[in-house]
Structure 1
Amino acid sequence: MLTYLGIKNFALIESLELEPGPGLTVLTGETGAGKSIILAAVSMLIGQRAASDLIRAGSEQAVLEAQFLLDPASDPALRLAEEALEGEEGELVVRRLVSREGRNRVQVNGNLATLGLLADLGPELVSVVGQHASQALLKSEEQLWLLDAFGGLEEQTLEVGQAVRAVRELDQKIEEHRRALQMREQRRQELERTVKELEAAGLDPEEEAALKAERNLMANSEEIAALARQAHQGLYAADGSALETVDRHRAVLSQLAELDPSLKETAARLEEAFYLLEDVAHQVRDYEAGLSFDPYRLEWLEERLHGIRRLTRRYGGDVAGALEALTQAKEELEGLDSGEQRLEKLETQREQALAQAVSLAKKLSQARREAAPRLAQAAEAELAQLSLASCRMQVSFNQPGGAALETGAGPLGGRGLEQAEILIAPNPGEGFRPLKRIASGGELSRMLLALRTLVARRHGAPTLIFDEVDAGIGGATGAAVGQKLASLATAGQVICITHLPQIAAWADRHYAVGKTVKDGRTATRLSLLDEGGRLDELSRMLAGGGPESTARQHAKQLLDSARQAKLSL
C-alpha cells in the first residue's frame, strides 16, 4: 500500500505531499491543475524513465519520494531481503532525484539502487491504468494479456516466450554456422589452390640464384666468347704468345742455373709456371670451345624467373617465404574440418526446441480456451454492475501475426499459437462483434474497469491507480463506476483521478488539486478535504453554470447515498 507521496520541483509542482491511506482515494480538480503530473511522478517512482524537461523551471533537480507498507511475505519484501535493502517493519521508501543534466539517482530504503530494481518491483507495488488504457484495450496484445492475467497463465506464457526465443536463437546460430561453413569452404578452395600452385612450381631455395647466373651468362655470351678467344690467343695461339715467351726464357734460365746452381730453384719455379700457364691456356681453349647460345633456353630462363617472382610477391616476398606459405597452407587444410557434424547437431537441437515450444504452446492454448468463457462470464457480471446488464462478451482466437515460427500446429509467436480478440454484443438481439469496432467511449471505460477489477482480484495488487476511468460516462453510470471502485477498494488500495462527482462521492479520502499563483509563478496545490470541503468540491463539479444551491443539494445527496451504500460493501 502506498502511504506517502512527496514531489518537489516537478513540472507545475513546487512542493506537494499526498497520503492516500487505505480504501478509495480520489483526486479531483480542473483540467490542467496537475492531477496527471502526480500520476507521472508515481510512474517514475516505480521504474519509468525520467525526462529532464519535467523539472520545474528555475530548479536544477526534481525530488520524488514514495513510501509503501509491504506484507512481509510479499514478493517485493522478499526481493528487498535478497538485495539486503529491507526497511523497518515492512516499510519501503523509494527516493528518486532527477537532474537537469539527465543524471538520475535512485535510493531504496536509504541505499543506492538501480532503475532496473524499481522496474522489477514496480508492477508488484502499483498497477497504473492511465488515460490511454481504454485505447490500449482495443489492441489484441492487451486483450491477450488480460486473459492470461485473469486465468493465471502468465508463467505459462513466459515459458512459451522463452521456448520460442530458444528456437529463434538456434535459428540464428544455424544461419551463422551456415555462413561460416560457406566461408570455410571458400577458404578451403583458396588453400587448395595455394598448395596446388606452389607444389606445381617446385620451388628450391637455391634455384633462383643459379637461374640468374645462367641467364646472365647467356645474355652476355658474345662478349664472353670474344674475351675467351682473346685470352687463348694471348696465352697460347698467337705468335709471341705468353706461353711461347715463357718457354724461350725457361731455356735461358735453365742454362743459367747450370752455370750458377743457386738459380736452380728459380729455374724450377719458372718451369712450373710454364706448365701452369699451359694448363690455363688449355682450360681457356676448352671453355671457349664449350660456349654455346640457345635462345630457347634463355626464353625458358626468363619465364621461370618471372614465375618465381610472381609467386614470391604473392606468398612471402622470397622463395623461403613462399615455401613457408606452402607449409602453413597444408597445416591449415589438415585442421579445417567440414563442420557438417556441428550443423547437424544444431539442427537436431532446433527440432527438439521447436517441439518443446509447440508442446508448451498447445498446453497454453488449451488453458486459454478454458479461461476464456470464465473471463467472459465474470466480465458480464461486473458489467451488469456498471449499467451494462445486457452486454454479452466472448473471446475469440486468431493466428498470431508478425514474425511467427511455422509449425505443424500453425504459426507460433512469442506469446503462443494465438491472438485474443474480445467480442461484445452490447444490446439484446445483436450479434457479437469485435470490441474495437463497436464499443463507445463509455463502454470502453467500463469494460476496462470490469476487466481490471477481475485481474486485480486474481492478483491482489496492493495499489490500483485509475486516471480518468470515467471517460465517456456520467450520471447514474458514474455512480455505478464509483460503487465498483469503492467495492474494489475494500480488497486493496485504489486511487482514482476523476472529473465525475458521482465517482468522487464514494471516496474514503478526497484530495482537491488546484493551481495557485505566487510571485508570478504558477504552482499545483493539493488539499485534503474534510466533509465541508468535499461538499464544496462536489458542488463545484456539479454546478456547470446552474444554481449553486441546487448543486450543493445534489452534492449532499450524492455523499449521503454513497455513504449509505458503502455500509453494505
Structure 2
Amino acid sequence: MLVELSIRNFAIIENLTIPFERGLTVLTGETGAGKSIIIDAIGLLVGGRGSVEFVRHGSSRAEIQGLFFIEDHMHAIHNKSTQLGIEINDDQMVILQRDITAQGKSICRVNGKLVTLAILRELGETLVDIHGQHEHQHLMQSERHLSLLDQFAGDKVSGSLREYQHIYKSFVALKNQINQFSENEQKLAHRLDLLQYQLNEIEAAKLNPNEDISLTEERTKLANGEKLYKSVHDSYHALYGDDKGLEWLMHAMNNIEEAAFIDKNLVPFKETISNCYYLLEEAAYSLRDYYESIEFDPNRLNLIEARLNELIQLKRKYGKTVTDILEYASKIEEEIEHLQNREEKIQVLEKQLDSVSEDLLIEARNLTEQRKNAAKQLSKKIHQQLKDLYMEKTKFLIKFKETDISKVDAKDVLFHDDGVDKIEFLLTTNPGEPFKQLAKIASGGEISRIMLALKTIFSTHQGVTSLIFDEVDTGVSGRVAQAIAEKIFNISNNSQVLCITHLPQVAAMATTHLYISKKQLNNKTVTNVTTLSNQEKVEELARMISGVEITELTVSHAKELLDQADKFKGI
C-alpha cells in the first residue's frame, strides 16, 4: 500500500505531504483545487510521461516521493527488484522517487538507487494501477486479456501453463537448430569452403602446444649467445682457478676445521662453510659445462625467426596464442562436421521436433480446455457484477480466436510461449447489437461501470498494492451511483483504493476522507489537504449534494448517506 506521498514544486503544489491509510480513501474538493494533480503526481511517480509543464513556475525542479509498504512476501516486485539488482530490506518498504527538472530531464530512484524511467515504470506497474475515465490500462488492451484470464483462473491454469512452457522451450530450441541447418544453400557452401580453408591452413602449420613460447625463449638465447657465453664464462672463472673464489673458500674451510677441533662451538660454522664450498664447486662445474655447450648457429636463429613470423600471421587470423589457434581449429572442425552432415542431422532434428510438437499439442489442448472453463466462470462473475450495477442487458463474452486445435495436426498449429490461445473481452450493451471491443463502447457512464465490474473481480488477482480511480463515476447518478459506491468499497477490502469523486454516495463510503482546497498566499496558489472529521464529512457531503448552499435538508441527507454507508460496511 501507499503509505505516504511527498510532492514539492509540482504544478500548483508547492510543498505537500499526504499520509494514506488502508481501505478506501476519497479525495473531494472544488474543481481546480488540485485533486487530479495529486493523481498525476502518483502517475509520474510510477513511470508516467513527464513534462516541464509539471514544474511549478519559478522552481528548478519538481520532486515526487512515495513510500510503499509491501505486505505480501510473494509480491511481483520482489522478483523484479532482484532481477534489476535493487534491494528491498526486511522492513518491506519501497521508496520511489522522481524528479523533473525545468529542462525536462527525469531523475528516477528506487530505494535510493538511480534507475532508468523504464525500470521505474516496470516496478511501478506492480504497485499502482491508475484508472481514469479514459485510461483503462490493461483492461482495455486485448493483448493483456489472456494474462488476466490466467490470473483469474489461478492454480487451475498455472500448472498446465508451466507444463506447456517446459515443453515449449525444447520445441523452440529444436526449431532454432533446424533453421540454422536450413539456411541458404549457397551461404552454407561459402561458409563450409571458408572453414575448410582455415582448417587446412592451421593443420599445414603443424602447430605444437606452447610452441610460440618455447621458440621465443630459444630465439632470445641464440640472439644473445655471445653475451651469454661471456657472462657464464666469467662467472665460472670468478669461482674456479688460482687465487679465485673457491680457492679462498678452501682456505677458509681448512682454517675453520682446525679451529673447530679446538672449540666445538665452531662446528656449525665449519659445516656451513663446507656445504657452501661443495655447492659452489658443483655450480662452477655446471657453469663450465653450460658455456662449453653454447653454440653460435645463425641458421637455427633464422629458422626460428621464420617460424615465429609464420605464427604471428596465424595469430592475426585465429587467436592470440598457439593454444587459442588450436582451440579454434577444434571448434571449426566440429562445425565442418555438422555442415557436411547437415541433411542427416536435419532429418534427426525434424523427427525430434515432430515428437515434441505432439507432446506440446497435448499440453496446449489441456491448457485451452482449462482456460475455457475459467472463461465460463469469469463470464458468470462479470455478469453478476454488471447486474449489481444495473446493467442487466449488457452481455460479456470472452472470445477465443485460435484454430480448433482438437481437429488439427501439430504441424499446422502456431505455438506461442503462453499457448495457442488468443482471446479478447467483448461486450454488447443492448440486446440485438453485436459484441464490441471494450475500447469501442461509446458511453462514458457505461465504460465506468463496466471497468468497475471488471476491476472488482481482477483487483484480487492483479497483485497491485494500490488502485486509483480518477472520477470513474462521471456520468452516473441515483441508484447506479450507490451501486458504484458499494463496488468501490468492496474493492478496497482487497486493495488500498484512492478515489477522486464528485458523488456523495461514493464519498460516504470512505474509510478516510481527504478534502483538497487551494488558497492564495503571497500571490501564489497553494494546495492544502485536510483529513475530515466526522462532522466535517457531513458538511462536505452536504456541499456535494446541494452545491453552494447547505441547508438543514442537505445536512440531514448527508447524515443519512453516512448511516447507510456504515450499515453496508457493517459498522
What's the TM-score bracket when you normalise by the shorter of the two chains?
Answer: 0.5 to 0.7
Superposed CA offset, 1:316-371 (max 9, x none): xxxxxxxxxxxxxxx99997955735766776776677666645543331221010
Distance 2:457 2:31 in 1: 30
* 2:99 paired with 1:97: yes
Report the counterpart of residue 554 of structure 1 in structure 2.
557
**What's the TM-score once normalised by structure 2's chain length?**
0.61
**SS of the residue aligned with 2:105?**
coil
Alignment of 1:159-174 (within 5 A): none
The Cα shift of 1:502 comes to: 1.8
Aligned position for 2:525: 522
Please tell me whether the aligned partners of residues 399 and 410 of structure 1 are also in contact (alpha carbons under 8 angstroms). Answer: no
Residue 477 (1) aligns with residue 484 (2): no
The corresponding residue for 1:449 is 452
Q: 2:498 aligns with which of 486, 492, 495?
A: 495
Q: Would the aligned equivalents of 1:379 and 1:451 in 2 still touch at CA under 8 Å? A: yes
How far apart, in 1, do the equivalents of 2:127 and 2:349 lie?
Answer: 42
Rate the CA distance shift 1:88–1:97 in 2: closer, same or farther, 3 A: farther
* Aligned positions of 1:216-231 closer than 5 A: none
Deviations 1:223-242 (A, max 9, x none): xxxxxxxxxxxxxxxxxxxx
CA contact (8 A) 1:33 1:515 kept: yes
Distance (Å, rounded) in 1 between the aligned partners of 2:55 and 2:136: 29
Q: CA deviation at 1:5?
A: 0.9
Q: CA deviation at 1:503?
A: 1.1
Q: 1:182 — aligned with what?
A: 186
Aligned 8 A contact 1:25 1:510 in 2:
yes
Matched residue, 2:380: 377
The 1:344/1:551 distance shift into structure 2, 3 A limit, reads: farther
Match of 1:417, SS? Answer: coil
**What are the superposed Cα offsets for residues 158-187 of structure 1, whole Å, 9 maximum, x if unpaired?**
887898798778767766765565334357
Name the residue aligned to 2:6.
6
Corresponding residue for 1:127?
A: 129
Cα gap change, 1:165 to 1:115, in 2 (>3 Å):
farther
> Structure 2 matches for 1:201-220, cutoff 5 A?
none
Structure 2 Cα separation of the partners of residues 349 and 43 of structure 1? 49
Q: Report the residue type matching 1:512 in the other structure.
A: Y
Provide closer, same or farther for how the CA distance between residues 547 and 364 of structure 1 changes in structure 2, counting only shifts above 3 A.
same
Q: 1:171 to 1:50 in 2, by over 3 A?
A: farther
1:561 is paired with a residue whose SS is helix
For residues 364 and 444 of structure 1, what CA distance do their matches in structure 2 show?
31
Q: How does 1:201-350 map to 2 (within 5 A)?
A: 338=340, 340=342
CA–CA distance in structure 2, aligned partners of residues 74 and 191 of structure 1: 51
Give the deviation of 1:506 after TM superposition. 0.8
Equivalent position of 2:152 in the other structure: 150
1:43 equivalent to 2:43? Answer: yes
3-state secondary structure, aligned to 2:400: strand
Secondary structure of the residue aligned to 1:491 is coil
Higher alpha-carbon deviation: 160-169 or 130-139: 160-169
Q: TM-score when scaled to structure 1?
A: 0.61
Given the superposition, is the C-alpha separation of residues 154 and 450 from structure 1 closer, same or farther in structure 2, using an over 3 Å criterion?
A: farther
Q: Return closer, same or farther for 1:184/1:413 CA change in 2, 3 Å cut-off.
A: closer
- For residues 491 and 179 of structure 2, the distance between their equivalents in structure 1, rounded to whole angstroms, comes to 52
Q: CA deviation at 1:28?
A: 2.1
What residue number does 1:291 align with? none
For the residues of structure 2 that align with 1:188 and 1:460, how far apart are their CA atoms? 53
Deviation at 1:476, TM superposition (A): 1.6
The C-alpha deviation readout for 1:53-101, integer Å capped at 9, x for no partner, is 5332322222222222232634368557896834464433333334346
Give the 3-state SS of the residue equivalent to 1:374 in structure 2.
helix
Structure 1 unaligned spans of 5+:
193-330, 401-405
The structural deviation recorded for 1:507 is 0.7
Larger radius of gyration: 1
Gaps of 5+ in 2: 197-328, 404-408
Q: 1:115 to 1:363 in 2, by over 3 A?
A: farther
CA contact (8 A) 1:26 1:511 kept: yes
- Amino acid paired to 2:187: M
1:444-488 per-position Cα deviation (integer Å, ceiling 9, x unaligned): 222211221212234564322222221332222111111121122
**SS where residue 474 of structure 2 aligns?**
coil
Change (3 A) 1:364 1:494: same
- 1:345 and 1:11 map into 2 onto residues whose CA distance is 66
Alignment of 1:378-527 (within 5 A): 378-389=381-392, 391-399=394-402, 408=411, 410-412=413-415, 415-424=418-427, 426=429, 433-434=435-436, 436=438, 440-458=443-461, 461-527=464-530
Shift in Å at residue 413 of structure 1? 5.1
| TM superposition shift of 1:432 | 7.0
Query: Structure 1: how far apart are the matches of 2:39 and 2:170?
Result: 38
In structure 1, what is the Cα distance between the partners aligned to 2:128 and 2:30?
25
Query: Structure 1 residues 169, 533: CA separation in 2 closer, same or farther (over 3 Å shift)?
Result: farther
**Contact 1:514-1:526 within 8 A present in 2 as well:** yes
Measure the CA separation in 2 of the matches of 1:338 and 1:67.
62
Q: For the Cα contact (< 8 Å) 1:474–1:502, is it kept in 2?
A: no
Aligned AA (2:342): E
The one-letter code matched in structure 2 to 1:62 is: A
Letter in 2 for 1:70: I
Q: Counterpart in 1 of 2:213?
A: none
- Cα distance change, pair 544–171 in 1 and its aligned pair in 2 (3 A): farther
Structure 1 residue 431, shift from structure 2 partner: 7.4
Q: Note if contact 1:421-1:434 (Cα within 8 Å) is conserved in structure 2.
A: no
Any conservation in 2 of the 1:134–1:444 contact (CA below 8 Å)?
Answer: no
* Alignment partner, residue 29 of structure 1: 29
Q: Which amino acid aligns with 2:383?
A: E
Q: Which range moves more in the overlay, 144-153 or 373-382? A: 144-153
Shift of 1:146: 3.0
184 and 378 in structure 1: CA distance in 2 versus 1, 3 angstrom threshold: closer
Structure 2 partner of 1:259: none
| CA apart distance, 1:541 | 2.7
Cα deviation, 1:97-155, whole Å, max 9, x if unaligned, reads: 343462514141x5556656644543443333333345864543344343222112578
Number of corresponding residues: 425
Q: What is the CA-CA distance between 1:24 and the residue it aligns to?
A: 0.6
Aligned position for 2:224: none
**One-letter amino acid of the structure 2 residue matched with residue 26 of structure 1:** V
SS in 2 for 1:499: coil
- 2:16 paired residue number: 16
- Please state if 1:67 is matched with 2:70: no
- Distance in 1, matches of 2:554 and 2:492, equals 27
Residue 500 of structure 1: how far off its partner (Å): 1.8
How many Å separate the matches in 2 of 1:469 and 1:500? 10
Distance in 2 (alpha carbons) for counterparts of 1:373 and 1:98? 46
* Counterpart Cα distance in 2 of 1:125 and 1:23: 15
Asked whether the 8 Å contact 2:181–2:346 carries over to 1, the reply is: yes
Q: Report sequence identity in percent.
A: 32
Aligned residue for 2:567? Answer: 564
